[in-house]
Structure formats: C-alpha cells, structure tokens
Structure 1
Amino acid sequence: MTDLALVSSLARAATHPDPAFPRFHPRPAQGWINDPNGVSYIDGKYHVFFQYNPDSARHRLIQWGHVSSADLVQWEEHPVALVPQAGGPDSAGCWTGVVTLDDGVPTAAYSGVQDHGGHSQVVIARGSSDLVSWNQDGHVAASMPTDPMVTAVRDPFIFRFNGARYAVQGAGLADGRAALLLYSVEDLEHWEYKGIWLTSSDPVAAMHAPAEIWECPQLVEVPVAGGGSTWVMMFSLWLSGDDHEHANGVGHLIGSLSADPETGLPVFTAATGGKSDLGRDFYAPQIVQLAYSSPAATSAASSAAAFASALMWGWANEGPGRDGRRGRTQEEIDDAGWSGVLTHPRLLSVADGALVVAPVPEVSAYRGAAVASDASGSVDVPAFAEVGVTGSGPVSLRLGSGADEQPVYSGAVAAGEELRIFIDASLVEVYRSGSVATTLRAYPLAGEAWTLDLPAGATADVWKLTLPR
C-alpha cells in the first residue's frame, strides 16, 4: 500500500502523464476512487474522504482516502484514513459513511463488511483533531436489523432534527422495494433502530426515485429562493446488475420534516422530486450540512447562492462510452492506473419547487486568461476550460471532427439563463442556472480538440483554467 504524501493534489496532477487525468479536481495520482465519504467542515477546513483502492484501478480492497482544503481551491492530500482491519467488522472493506463531531471528537460512522457478499454494519472510528490519524477498534454501533423484510442495508447518514440526532441507512426489502431505515442516535456508539421509515412505494418516491436499494441516502435542509428553507432527501438508485453503470442515476425528493405527535420521531413528507444530475456518469453524492457564506460571492447571482447551507460532491466514474461518446475499456483503465473523479463542490438550493445545483463561487479562482469573449458560431475550447454561454437556443459540445467526431453534450439555453461548462481533461460538468448539473466523461485522442456550437444570438466567453498561485 502506498500512503499519500502531504502535497498539493492539484500541483501534482499538472504533471500527470495521462492527458485524460483531471488537473482541477483533487484525487490521488493512482488507484481507484468512488463515493465521496465523510464530507465535513471542521476547524476552518473542508475534509473530503472517498472510497479508495491505492493499489489498482479496480473496485476492491476499499479504504478511505482523504483530501482537505481551507478554501475549496487548494487541496492537500493526506495519508489513507481508514483501512480494513483483519478479523474486524470491516475486514472486507471500509465502505460509505460520514464524519461528525461527537463531543468535539471527529468520528466516522461507516459501513463495514466482514466478509465479501455479507451484510454491512455501522462501524465507528475516532479521529485526531486534524482528522489525519484514526483509531479503528472495531466498535459496531448498529448491526443488520432482525426484521426478515430487510435484506440489504448500507451507507449511514446522520442528521439533526428538533435538537436530537438521528441517522438513516439505505436498504432493500424482500419484496423488491427500496427503503430508508431510521435510527435514534443519542449515543453515537449505540444506535437505536426505529424501523422502516420510507419506501419506494411512496407515490412521490415511486415517481422520482425508483430503485431496488436506495444507496448513499442524504437528508439536508436547504434554502428556498425568496426566503425560508426546505428539506431535500437524495438517493443513489441501485438496480441489480448495475456494475457501475447506474442507469437510474441519482434522484431526490423535496419535502418537509415534522414530529410524530405520539413518538416525537421525525416524519418526512415528500412533495415533489426529480433527477439530481442529468448526466450518466454521476453517482453516490454526499452532502454536508453547514451555514455557508462565501467571500467569493460578489455578483448578484452568486450572492443569492452564498446563503445556501448544503454543499455536495459526487463521483464521476470512468465512462464506458455512451450516446456517441468514446469510452475506456477496463484494459485501458488498468494501463492508465487510475479510475474515478470527484466533481466540483456544488451549492444546493430550491427555487419554484425544483432543486437548483450550482458550482461554488470559489471555483472561479481557476479562471486564467480569457481565450474568447462574446464568441459566436463554432468556438474552439481548450482542454482545460471554463465556458459561459448566454443567449437562447440549442448548444452542443463535441470532440474531434469528421468520422471520429464525438457528441459530448447537447442542451438548450433560454433567454435570461446561463450555461457554465467546465472541461477538465476527461471530465465535463455543465451547470444551467435554475436547474441541476450534467456530469459527463469523454476522452480526447491525441490532436483532438473541443468545439462548442452555438445558435444564432448566443455568445460564449471562454477562459483557460490555471492553478492559482
């Protein structure tokens, strides 16, 4: 196993030999990564952990990698945080979970699996004040429920309501429904199971979150445009046979939390929902609840978003090739020695009853020299770029030309809206004002260039991305 040195993740990425390796999204230079885990903001630093196999570009021997940042721009890599313990409840992997403060002590609560193919349990580990060193003593806070209806459980998420601490886990039921399980967590080391909380037979959930297992459940309070707040519940929609294809992607429900008049336990009532990302290469997001105020939010548009109280990261897997995009085979991934990218951090809010996802204002720090201003028609775009599009009509992004041309993104911009497109080697993130994002992977061949095609009346500003000094 190779531990990560305390170095700038983005500075090292700039010299990576693979031209498809992202330079502006922190990750180790080698190995497999997937779900963001333990996303937290403690003592002035953002910490993002992630499922990690440092020894190959394959989904096995899962540990927790770790990066941190004080400003969401410069990222530092840290040594591996959590490692499977021989003979322990996590001997077959330290899977998805969260990090929270428990009486001031950074504490991870994660899915541990003892044998491959076995059920997961909630395992607790305690961290140092800087979250770099961890004590794994194998303490199990919650085991598989004895309810025979519950056939699969995973991915704990902790939230607070009415001054009390609760947790949910994603689950699958014997009758094929997906479900959330609810726990009372007065003592973080001993979770009290409260039963099946919500299932995919809920009419709103059935429409917006169909799945056999709800993975990576999230529940956070986000601001509503015009004032107030609402609750957003998010799930990764697992289907048998997915094998990292994730055809159903990620869905969310928007609703309210109230106290049950008899038990006092929280009750979630869904009002509406939708897709949380419109791309096929986005899965397993994690959201951190916080009171967020960005010093970079200076424009009118970003100032409104700066009051958002939830930040989200997602996993962009290596694309197998979809919708005319060229993918990478497993052999090509093995040769490259790395797999998986985390998205930019994203602000969540709700407007007109719909989820709005925007990049944090801080990522504007990556803007370098402007390479085009008010450009129209077909616009050449660098391999590392930010693009802002205004106007109205259909917009498309493609790679290459002629017989080898790949369509990568197509969408529309309406009058008064803006598209912000980030290209980081093989990762494309598209943000449309007032909507959710679209996350895609595409792999340029040597000599291939990116081209943005605009309708009459639409224009684009293009910046080359550079690392701030």
Structure 2
Amino acid sequence: MTDLALFDSLLSASTHPDPAFPRFHPRPAQGWINDPNGISHINGRYHVFFQYNPESARHSQIQWGHVSSADLVHWEEHPVALSPQAGGPDSAGCWTGVVTSDGGVPTAAYSGVRDHGGHSQVVIARGSADLVTWEQDGHVAASMPSDPLVTAVRDPFLFWFDGARYAIQGAGLADGRAALLLYTVEDMNDWKYQGIWLTSADPVAAVHTPAEIWECPQLVEVPDSSGGSAWVMMFSLWLSGDDHEHANGVGHLIGSLSPDPTSGLPVFVPSSGGKSDLGRDFYAPQIVQLSYGSSSGSSPVALLWGWANEGPGRDGRRGRTQEEIDDAGWAGVLTHPRVLSLVDGALAVSPAPEVLAYRGAAVAVGAALAADAVVVAGAAGSVVVPAFAEVLVRGGAASSGGVSSRGVSSGDVELALVSSADGDSDDNRQVVYSGSLASGEELRIFIDASLVEVYRTGSVATTLRAYPAAGEEWQLTLHDGATADVWELALPE
C-alpha cells in the first residue's frame, strides 16, 4: 500500500487479473509472501502478519506484511509493519516471530539477521494499540548462544506455563541434530537462555520430526476428545538444500508438560506424533493460543495458519515455472485458520467455523455419484465444481460393493482438473487429490482458484496447489453410495 487507507483485501482479490489468484485467503495483490508471523488476538481483532517482499514475487529483503479481521471473514490490509533497518540487527531481513501483549503494549519478537548468512538474534519492536504502526529501535532480547554445539538459531515462540512466560527457538546442532532451545522471559527485553531443551535424538522425535533444523517451533495446549488436554509441539522440518521444497514438511509431537522438581523449568515429554499436514504444499505454520485450559478453567483453544507456496509441481501435479511466477507478480498464500484438537490421542485439524460464512449458492445438494446419479453439468459419475467452491463429501455404503465403471474402488474420492474441450478422457485429467472415504466419513474441501484444502473429520488436513489451464474445470468423482454438497464461495455482506 502507498498510503494509510485500509481496504477489504478480499474485495480487492475479486478483481485480480490472474485467474489463479485466491480470492478468499487474504494477501496483497502483488509480491512474495511466506511464513505467517505474529498471529494474535488483541483489542478485539485478529492480526496476521507474514513474511513479505512487496517488490517482486521472489524471496528477498523480507519485511512483515499485515492483515487484520474482527471476525476471521472480512480482512483489511495494512501498511508494512516491520522493515529491515539499515545498520540494525535486522538489516538483512525481519524474519519469523510472534506478537504478544506485553503489559498492554503490542510487542513483536522476531528473528533479525544483520547480514546475509549471519546468525539471527531475537529483536523486539513495540506497536500501537491497533498494531498498525511500529517502533523499531533495534533492541536485541537474545543473541546467539555461546554454546559451540549450537550452529543455527531462528524463529522465537512464546508460551505460558504455571503462570510464567517462556520462549523457545528452533536450532541446528554441529552434530547434525535438530534442537529446541528454552528461555525464561520475565522481561520481554531480556531473555534468559536455559539451554538445549529437546533434540531430534529423542526416540519419539526421531520417528516423527526428523530434520537438521527445527524451524518455526510451536508449543500449544489443545483439547482432547476425552475431556482433558495435552501439549502439541510442532516443527517445520528443515533439510539442507530444501530451497522452498521442504520434502519433510511439518511434523508434530504430542506429550505432557510438567515442572522439573529441581529447577521448576517446564519439561516436555513426547509420547506420540505424526505429520501435521498430508500435502506437499504446506510449511511454516504458526499457531496462536487463544486460551489455556489450565488457566481459563475451560477447554484450551488454538488456531493455526500455514503457508502454501508456488512451485514447479509436486507428486505429478502441474505447477508454475519461475518465469510464470515472475509474470504473475505474486507468490504464496496462507491457509484458512484451522482449529486444533486431539481425537483418540491423535492430532485433528478442522477449518475454523467462521470460514463457513463464505458459503454461497448451492451448486449440488446431496448429489449421489453412482451409475444412476444426479449429475450436474458433468460426465456420468461426476460433478463439475466451480473455481471457488466448498465441497462436503459424505461416505456411504457402496451399492455395488465393488469397482465402479470408472475404475474407482469403493470409497475412493478424486478431485481433478479436466479439459472441458476434450471431455472426460483419462489422458486429459490432472488428479489433484485422491483418497479413501469410509462409510459415514466426511471430507470438507475448499477450492480457491489455485489453493485446495482438504479436511478429513478427526484427522489432519491436506494442503495442495494446482493451476487450472485455459479450458480446464474442476471435477469431483466419487464411488457408489457417497454424496456431495457443493457451494460456490461468496463474500458475505
């Protein structure tokens, strides 16, 4: 933005010239974005910051962009919040961090890098009550630890436990292990380093969160379907040579947090874990803890946003070349806000209920996709889905109990891009998502131009990017017994 005027980011997206530009996931019309940062709920508004280069669709000279919302539906874009300061500890970029209310003052704690290739430090900035203007004086709250075993540090995250405030940072060690560093934070201006807290040598972590550096560490309390709660630790699993491909994706550990009987410092003991998203286009999520169960007397609440990048295509899907990305002038999108919980001891991720406000006109209601299906403008056994859509799929007992005429086994779901000019030939189908669907199970799918989010009840999500070419349409195919409701997405008044 060139001035302080605010505008509805989603309304602006609706007029974007690129048909692949998402309309229901707020981001600036131009420029590169990646990691969500500083997610917070302060003075009645949700604030989402993000890594941002407004000058091009490439990862360079990272600043903090900023959008906010009172309802998670209508978003406003604000001016750049944090920018690299010449000669300061963040002169080579304002990288990932968090925002908290510190004595009533909005305060950012982020990774600042003085020179490219240098070590990061935790830099503090203070914001106005509406979080739109920020004072950057270059104050460093934590520098690189003196421990020679610690070779890389980044991405501070704050949490509360037993009435005290703590921080963690992701790290890499000289022996190749990923690690988590612990700090006590009585004063936001002066973090006290407590040492290496956890490493990827832990037997549970070695299975579920293998990496050379644990990036973007998160630690939140989430409700359990049993009625209690547990702690979830989430990492982006960095490997050398990733270059924004991130083959290991994002993993999490589920465990307990208790005070050390001697030091009183928290001790995290992981008991299980897994992948935090099943797509290859999801990385660097950030979670905001809206309430703790231990302090609020109710179920804890945690919301997650993730980053879906552009790319050359993964797992057989067609992507965009760097030249196409440059021509489009934008790169990267953030997911819908997601609610975290545990179901039967495993992480479950669902869309925040507020995003259902985008549901517009019904395209198909209860369409039974069988040989005698009610078919909407598509080939037999399929439904054509709009470019901006919500789909609710419900599994059912297969009437044939076998394999359909399309070769889709009982219970399978397929979302594909199909050339409308060439009909339903398998040679003209780009499968974007496929998976099994048990009787009574539900999938909720959101399509926003080139971003697809799939939510399976009681499981983690799947985040994917796909780019419809001219003459292609989205098509949903299910086996006998399943039904689908399809709605267009629309911005509510």
How much does 1:307 deviate?
Answer: 5.4
Tell me whether 1:68 sits opposite 2:92 in the alignment: no
Q: Deviations over 1:179-208 (max 9, x none)?
A: 000001011100000000000000000000
* Residue in 2 that maps onto 1:420: 444
Tell me whether 1:465 sits opposite 2:489 in the alignment: yes
How much does 1:413 deviate?
Answer: 1.6
Correspondent of 2:365 among 373, 388, 407: 373
Judge conservation of contact 1:4–1:77 (CA < 8 Å) in 2. Answer: no
Tell me whether 1:433 sits opposite 2:457 in the alignment: yes
Q: Deviations over 1:149-205 (max 9, x none)?
A: 000000000000010000000000000000000001011100000000000000000
* Residue in 1 that maps onto 2:230: 230
Aligned to 1:362, what secondary structure does the other structure show?
helix
Correspondent of 1:443 among 449, 452, 467: 467
- The structure number with the bigger radius of gyration is 2
Aligned to 1:118, what secondary structure does the other structure show?
coil
How much does 1:324 deviate?
Answer: 2.0
1:144-155 residue pairs with structure 2 within 5 A? Answer: 144-155=144-155
Specify the code of the residue in structure 1 equivalent to 2:237. Answer: L
Sort the Cα spacing of 1:276 and 1:4 in 2 relative to 1 into closer, same or farther, 3 A.
Answer: farther
Aligned to 1:379, what secondary structure does the other structure show?
strand
Aligned to 1:364, what secondary structure does the other structure show?
helix
How much does 1:292 deviate?
Answer: 9.7
Correspondent of 1:395 among 413, 416, 422: 413
Unaligned runs of 5+ in 2: 370-380, 397-410, 420-424
Sort the Cα spacing of 1:4 and 1:410 in 2 relative to 1 into closer, same or farther, 3 A.
Answer: farther
* Residue in 1 that maps onto 2:19: 19
How much does 1:260 deviate?
Answer: 0.4
- Matched residues in 2 for 1:97 and 1:404: separation? 44
- Matched residues in 2 for 1:210 and 1:226: separation? 29
* Residue in 2 that maps onto 1:384: 388
Q: Percent identity?
A: 80
Unaligned runs of 5+ in 1: 294-305
Sort the Cα spacing of 1:386 and 1:226 in 2 relative to 1 into closer, same or farther, 3 A.
Answer: same
Specify the code of the residue in structure 1 equivalent to 2:451. Answer: L
Aligned to 2:357, what secondary structure does the other structure show?
helix
- Matched residues in 2 for 1:280 and 1:137: separation? 38
* Residue in 2 that maps onto 1:100: 100
* Residue in 2 that maps onto 1:296: none
* Residue in 2 that maps onto 1:165: 165
- Matched residues in 2 for 1:63 and 1:368: separation? 35
Structure 1 stretches of 4+ moved >4 Å: 1-5
How much does 1:53 deviate?
Answer: 0.2
Correspondent of 1:316 among 308, 313, 335: 308
1:49-88 residue pairs with structure 2 within 5 A? Answer: 49-88=49-88
Specify the code of the residue in structure 1 equivalent to 2:192. Answer: E
- Matched residues in 2 for 1:180 and 1:5: separation? 41
How much does 1:4 deviate?
Answer: 7.2
Sort the Cα spacing of 1:324 and 1:4 in 2 relative to 1 into closer, same or farther, 3 A.
Answer: farther
Judge conservation of contact 2:390–2:488 (CA < 8 Å) in 1. Answer: yes
Aligned to 2:267, what secondary structure does the other structure show?
strand
Sort the Cα spacing of 1:3 and 1:117 in 2 relative to 1 into closer, same or farther, 3 A.
Answer: farther
- Matched residues in 2 for 1:292 and 1:237: separation? 26
Aligned to 1:449, what secondary structure does the other structure show?
strand
Sort the Cα spacing of 1:69 and 1:292 in 2 relative to 1 into closer, same or farther, 3 A.
Answer: farther
- Matched residues in 2 for 1:292 and 1:175: separation? 36
How much does 1:17 deviate?
Answer: 0.1
Calculate the TM-score normalised by the size of structure 1. 0.96
How much does 1:144 deviate?
Answer: 0.3
Specify the code of the residue in structure 2 equivalent to 1:19. Answer: P
Aligned to 1:370, what secondary structure does the other structure show?
strand
- Matched residues in 2 for 1:173 and 1:164: separation? 27
How much does 1:447 deviate?
Answer: 1.6
How much does 1:2 deviate?
Answer: 4.8
Q: Deviations over 1:394-421 (max 9, x none)?
A: 1010001443421100111212221000
Calculate the TM-score normalised by the size of structure 2. 0.91
Tell me whether 1:195 sits opposite 2:219 in the alignment: no
- Matched residues in 2 for 1:106 and 1:200: separation? 33
Judge conservation of contact 2:142–2:190 (CA < 8 Å) in 1. Answer: yes
The size of the alignment, in residue pairs, is 457
- Matched residues in 1 for 2:439 and 2:341: separation? 21
* Residue in 2 that maps onto 1:452: 476
Calculate the aligned-residue CA RMSD, in Å. 1.4
* Residue in 1 that maps onto 2:430: 406
Judge conservation of contact 1:63–1:83 (CA < 8 Å) in 2. Answer: yes
